[in-house]
Amino acid sequence: MTKFEIRGVHADVLIGAEEREEILKGVDLTINSGETHAIMGPNGSGKSTLAYAIAGHPRYEITSGEVLLDGENVLEMGVDERARAGLFLAMQYPVEVPGVSMSNFLRSAVTAVRGEAPKLRDFSKELQGSMKNLAIDSSFASRGVNEGFSGGEKKRHEILQLELLQPRMAILDETDSGLDVDALKVVSEGVNRIRQSGEVGVMLITHYTRILQHVHPDYVHVFAGGRIAESGGPELADVLESEGYERFAKAGA
Ligand code: ADP
Ligand code: MG
Ligand code: MG
């Protein structure tokens, strides 16, 4: 059983040498393993800032509050340590790492998380299996990480990492955006596969209700003005679908 807690988090974005702006204004959220929480909200409400702040991105500074994974302070961990602790973050805009092949990158990531390098042959088999599940052509294994990938290919690659790393807590920032219907289905199936164990907590950040037709959340939170403005069950997504975010845009201002 894993507990991921975001407690009273305030965070600034560092804009220039002198300039900063508070974006997160007191975020509280607890996610237990086996639960999927959808974080929905208008553009610019701070959803990605929350993901970046948890990831420890240097442009974002948490000014107060804490983030805990089973009581351990995530914000004090290095990037590798976070991954070893079982935290997985898929960013809205995955970075390209030219010159490093996908298979090398993924094997290193798996090695870091599992604490020992998988045998090359075993890993190749595992990788090919997961790639097949995600309808990723096997030729991608030798390509540079995200290099020249389309938006949809980058998102599939994020889910490939997710499947191989088997985290305890996964934060997925707009993994659904820019996907066509078929890709959305493949990506959703990937997310649902890792949920099956009941041992992973999922924070699914999304602007649209579309993915929630495939990945059914246990809880839905509306993010507005840098905090959670309302929380509810899956029915809250239906309200948003019909009413939009207007009501919350005001509350967050
Ligand atoms: P969302 O993911 O909900 O669309 P973001 O977290 O991306 O929202 O952005 C929240 C606010 O923070 C926006 O007003 C955005 O312009 C601002 N912001 C985020 N990152 C930066 C940055 N690196 N520089 C300047 N402003 C930023
Ligand atoms: Mg946005
Ligand atoms: Mg965003």
For 189: left if phi > 0, alpha if psi spans -120 to 50, otherwise beta; the answer is alpha
Q: Say how many domains are in the chain.
A: 1
Q: Over the range 26-41, which residues count as b (16 or more CB within 10 Å of their CB) and which as e?
A: ebebebebebbbbbbb
Distance 93 CA to ligand 3 centre (A): 9
pLDDT digit string, tens, across residues 36-84: 999 999 999 999 999 999 988 889 999 999 999 999 999 999 888 888 9
Distance from C-alpha of 226 to C-alpha of 25, rounded to nearest angstrom: 5
Residue 214 is encoded by which pair of tokens?
A: 């495939």
First to last CA, the chain: 37
Question: What is the complex's ipTM, to 2 decimals?
Answer: 0.95
Mean pLDDT of 134-158: 91
Which residue's CA is the nearest one to ligand 1's atom 14? 44
| pLDDT level of residue 253 (50, 70, 90 thresholds) | very low
In this prediction, residues 130-159 reach a mean pLDDT of 91
Q: Is residue 8 part of a domain?
A: yes
pLDDT band at 252 (very low <50, low <70, confident <90, very high): very low
- Asked if the structure places residue 91 within a domain, the reply is yes
State whether the Cα torsion 132-137-143-144 is positive or negative.
negative
Each residue of 108-119: pLDDT tens digit?
999 989 989 999
Question: Does a structural domain hold residue 142?
Answer: no
Question: Is ligand 1 within 6 A of the CB of residue 196?
Answer: no
CA of residue 23 to ligand 1 center, whole Å: 7
- pLDDT tens sequence across 83-99: 899 999 988 788 888 88
Which residue lies with its CA nearest to atom 16 of ligand 1?
Answer: 44
Full DSSP string of 182-238: HHHHHHHHHHHHHHTTS--EEEEEES-SGGGGTS--SEEEEEETTEEEEEE-THHHH
Residue 185, pLDDT above cutoff 60: yes
pLDDT at 3: 98
The average pLDDT across 207-226 equals: 95
Which CATH number is 209's domain given? 3.40.50.300
Examine residue 104 and state whether it is found in any structural domain, yes or no: no
Identify the domain containing residue 241 by its residue range: 3-98+168-252
| CA 87-90-94 angle, 5° bins | 140
What mean pLDDT do residues 179-196 have? 93
- E-strand ranges in the chain read 3-14, 20-32, 36-40, 60-69, 72-73, 87-90, 97-101, 144-145, 169-173, 201-206, 219-224, 227-232
Residue 167 Cβ inside 6 Å of ligand 1? The answer reads no
pLDDT reported for residue 24 = 98
- Asked if residue 29 is part of any domain, the answer here is yes
Asked if the structure places residue 148 within a domain, the reply is no
Which numbered ligand comes closest to the C-alpha of 41? 1
Q: Is residue 26 part of a domain?
A: yes
- Judge whether 218 lies within some domain: yes
* Residue 251 banded pLDDT, cuts 50, 70, 90: low
Indicate the pTM of the whole model. Answer: 0.93
